[in-house]
Amino acid sequence: MSNTSGAVGTSRLHVLDLRPLWEGDLSIHERYDIAYTAVSLQGLVNKKQPRILIYGMPYGNWAKFAPPRGFDGNIDRMVLECSQVEGDWLEHVRLTPVDSLEELVEAYRDEFPGLVLWDDVVEATANVATTVAGVEGLLPVRFAERDSERPTLFQTLTEELKLDVKRSLVGLFKGSGKIPDIDRPSTGSAKCDAYLWSKEMYLDTGRCRADLIGYYQDAYARSSRAHHGHWIALRDYFISESAFVVDVSVWADETPIDDPDQPLGTDRMVLDEVLNSAYARTQGKEPIRVFGFPPWAEKYTDHQGVNGGHGPVPTEWELTSIVTPYNGHLVVDIYQGFTANLSLYRHAPPFEGVSGPGLGAAASGRGVAQVPAATTSPAVPSGGAPKPFPRLNILFYMGDYCDIGAVYNILPVNWADPKRGEIPLGWSFTPVMTELLPDLFRWMYKTRTPNDHFMLGPGLYGYNMPNELPEGIPYEQNALLAREWCRRLGMDVTGFFIGYQPPSPRTLELYARATPTGVLTNHFSVRDARAPVPHLGMYDLCTPGSQPHEIADKAVRHIDSMYESQDRGGLEEGFVAFRCIWVEPSLIVEASRLMRERLKGVWTPEVVDPVTFFERFDGRRQSGTDDVATNDGTDR
């Protein structure tokens, strides 16, 4: 899926700025039409050669984050600049602005033979048309007659630009009778009929990729005024890579809000058929990349106004547990729609990891940030003479960069934070991200400090549940991929194991092969000296919007609670790992300072790097001593 033969050169990129689209008096339908067809055109044109760059959504819409001071909000340009440093493949590229989608279509009309129309009534056909576009090279557009004083995009393309309609999905799926072309009885759902038609026409026949599935919300997104701009941007990547695109619920025990009259369990049946078809073609020998996320804010969950019976996180985990046994993993995109231009960056030179030029030694040392040990006796009611305060080893996990939206929109800004490097931090990401945005990670590896350390996860090569991997090819494939990528990326520690249960013995064996130094988990602490790799629970500490004093208060309360629950008069050492989600180093540096001040008189606190943390922890674990306080796990 990455360019393994070096970059495909280009001297010019046409730039279409869609950011003004989200302002003004255009209707939701008009905005969706323009953005949807623009990124689809980008995918078609960039398939063979990088030629179109899109500035997509204003920074700050993504998860309601505010731009940092001094940043103008153009995250798409900031990511592009990672490819324009001296010696990089886009260093000398010329950016040529275009004023409209129509102008861009005119410039590249010879690149595609015509249009594929999707049906405004059956919103799933917006996804089906994306699959068709990737296979047949057609430009997808919503069929719509004039619905305002302005002509629709369909009318502009067909009447003004004289583009031909080569395939129409309009009126094709009715949810009754037989599904056209495939001689199969209707499921009773026009939505599900459309996906089964697409599966049999393109996935079963080998015309589209079996190892790349876009799990991406269809045009139902237009029903949400708050989120109608979502679920668009990644379509350029799906088309450029000939992916199969689908949007169905993971739950078989309820009907989805977007198709409430379908027979119970039909959505889930379609998902199972899609995954079975993909696995039949790969035979488990290639990992199946499921790109996207449940559209939790609009359907399939109990989020406000959605009226489902399952929470967003259980829905996320259900999808992950369904996909994993197929040798599958997720490329998570929680707030889908703000990750632009992946069809462009797929042409970049592959990221070589620590073996690349100038990348090998930047963060090879250990890192410890320590306050001077106090000289008064600790507040430990053990009696007797004063003694040194017990050492508290503190590890900060910086994630969750298993999410392509977070990697694209947040990680570059957080990495540019001026306080990065002042204390040891463990940055956690899935290796698949380095294939999708190789230039970004090349920049990170070149600019890291001795206090920046990289950890695997969450999951393995991609976001999955290792406990759910079946024996045989899926298990061995994941073990080999994880070990190879951890070696390539210089990762000795897993940042986040995900699972309904603690890591099983066979999962620990897998991690021992990939990251033998240690594993952070979403479960309780384990100090079993017989386990092949030390593993420890992690506590959820902070998310964007948190304030330093709030973080410090929460951390100290947790440490106090942890200590009280493991009251040992002879305590000599403590270990606590904190999960920090999508936050900037400045926040953690200040919170860490406050934490260490408040821990004086009880602990000698040290903020340490992941390797030092687990080497110390494993030494205590192997010695069998009973003088260690350990974390109890996450809140999640």
What does the alpha-carbon distance between residue 4 and residue 366 come to, in Å, rounded to a whole number?
33
Strands 212-215 and 288-292: parallel
Which range of residues forms the domain containing residue 434? Answer: 392-630
- Residue indicated by tokens 């900037």: 584
Q: Which residue, 133, 103, 108, is CA-closest to 36?
A: 133
The answer to the question of residue 385 being in a domain is: no
Instruction: Choose the final residue of a domain: 289, 318, 345.
Output: 345
Q: What is the mean pLDDT of residues 510-514?
A: 95
Q: Residue 218 in contact with residue 124, Cβ under 8 Å?
A: yes
Asked whether residue 273 falls in the same domain as residue 337, the answer is yes
In angstroms, what is the C-alpha Rg of the chain?
A: 26
Asked whether residue 320 falls in the same domain as residue 396, the answer is no
On average, the pLDDT of the chain sits at: 88
Task: Output the CA angle 297-123-64, nearest 5 degrees.
Answer: 25
Other C-beta atoms closer than 10 Å to the C-beta of 635 total: 9
- Residue indicated by tokens 């000698």: 604
The answer to the question of residue 357 being in a domain is: no
Instruction: Choose the final residue of a domain: 345, 380, 408.
Output: 345
Q: Residue 613 in contact with residue 393, Cβ under 8 Å?
A: yes
Asked whether residue 330 falls in the same domain as residue 410, the answer is no
The answer to the question of residue 609 being in a domain is: yes
The DSSP secondary structure of 166-231, one letter per residue, reads EEE-TT---SSSEETTTTEE--S-HHHHHHHHHIIIIITTTSS-SSEEEE---GGGGG-TTTTT-S
Q: Residue 16 in contact with residue 211, Cβ under 8 Å?
A: no
pLDDT surpassing 60 at residue 87: yes
The shares of helix, strand and coil residues in the chain, as percent rounded to the nearest 5, are 35, 15, 45
Q: What is the mean pLDDT of residues 538-552?
A: 94
Q: Which residue, 435, 429, 432, is CA-closest to 411?
A: 429
Residue 38 has φ and ψ, to the nearest 5°, of -65, -50
Instruction: Choose the final residue of a domain: 345, 379, 404.
Output: 345
Q: What confidence category does residue 358 fall into, taking pLDDT thresholds of 50, 70 and 90? A: low
Asked whether residue 604 falls in the same domain as residue 525, the answer is yes
What does the alpha-carbon distance between residue 132 and residue 141 come to, in Å, rounded to a whole number?
12
**33-47, 440-454, 511-525, 539-553 — which is least confidently predicted?**
511-525
Structure confidence at residue 383 (pLDDT): 44
Is this model's pTM higher than 0.85 or not? yes
Asked whether residue 401 falls in the same domain as residue 337, the answer is no
Residue type, 294: P
pLDDT tens digits, one per residue of 450-473: 999 999 988 999 999 999 999 998
Structure confidence at residue 304 (pLDDT): 87
Helix, strand, or coil here: 411? helix
Asked whether residue 446 falls in the same domain as residue 563, the answer is yes
Q: What confidence category does residue 307 fall into, taking pLDDT thresholds of 50, 70 and 90? A: confident
Asked whether residue 598 falls in the same domain as residue 493, the answer is yes
pLDDT tens digits, one per residue of 41-64: 999 999 999 999 999 876 655 555
Asked whether residue 396 falls in the same domain as residue 514, the answer is yes
Asked whether residue 245 falls in the same domain as residue 160, the answer is yes
**Stronger pLDDT, 306 or 171, i.e. the higher one:** 171
Burial class of 354 by CB neighbour count within 10 A (0 to 12, 13 to 18, 19+): middle
Q: What is the mean pLDDT of residues 134-150?
A: 91
Q: Across the strands, what pairs with 578?
A: 396, 539
Q: What confidence category does residue 372 fall into, taking pLDDT thresholds of 50, 70 and 90? A: very low
Q: What is the mean pLDDT of residues 83-100?
A: 94
Asked whether residue 547 falls in the same domain as residue 604, the answer is yes
Asked whether residue 332 falls in the same domain as residue 423, the answer is no
The CATH number linked to 569 is: 3.20.20.490
The answer to the question of residue 335 being in a domain is: yes
Q: What confidence category does residue 381 fall into, taking pLDDT thresholds of 50, 70 and 90? A: very low
Three-class HEC string of 251-280 = CCCCCCCCCCCCCCCHHHHHHHHHHHHHHH
**Stronger pLDDT, 336 or 454, i.e. the higher one:** 454
**Stronger pLDDT, 186 or 375, i.e. the higher one:** 186
Q: Structural domain tally of the chain? A: 2
pLDDT tens digits, one per residue of 562-588: 776 554 445 678 899 999 999 999 999
Q: What confidence category does residue 21 fall into, taking pLDDT thresholds of 50, 70 and 90? A: confident
Q: Residue 475 in contact with residue 497, Cβ under 8 Å?
A: no
Preceding amide of 458 cis, omega within 30: yes
pLDDT tens digits, one per residue of 599-615: 988 899 999 999 999 99
pLDDT surpassing 50 at residue 2: no
Asked whether residue 338 falls in the same domain as residue 431, the answer is no
The answer to the question of residue 358 being in a domain is: no
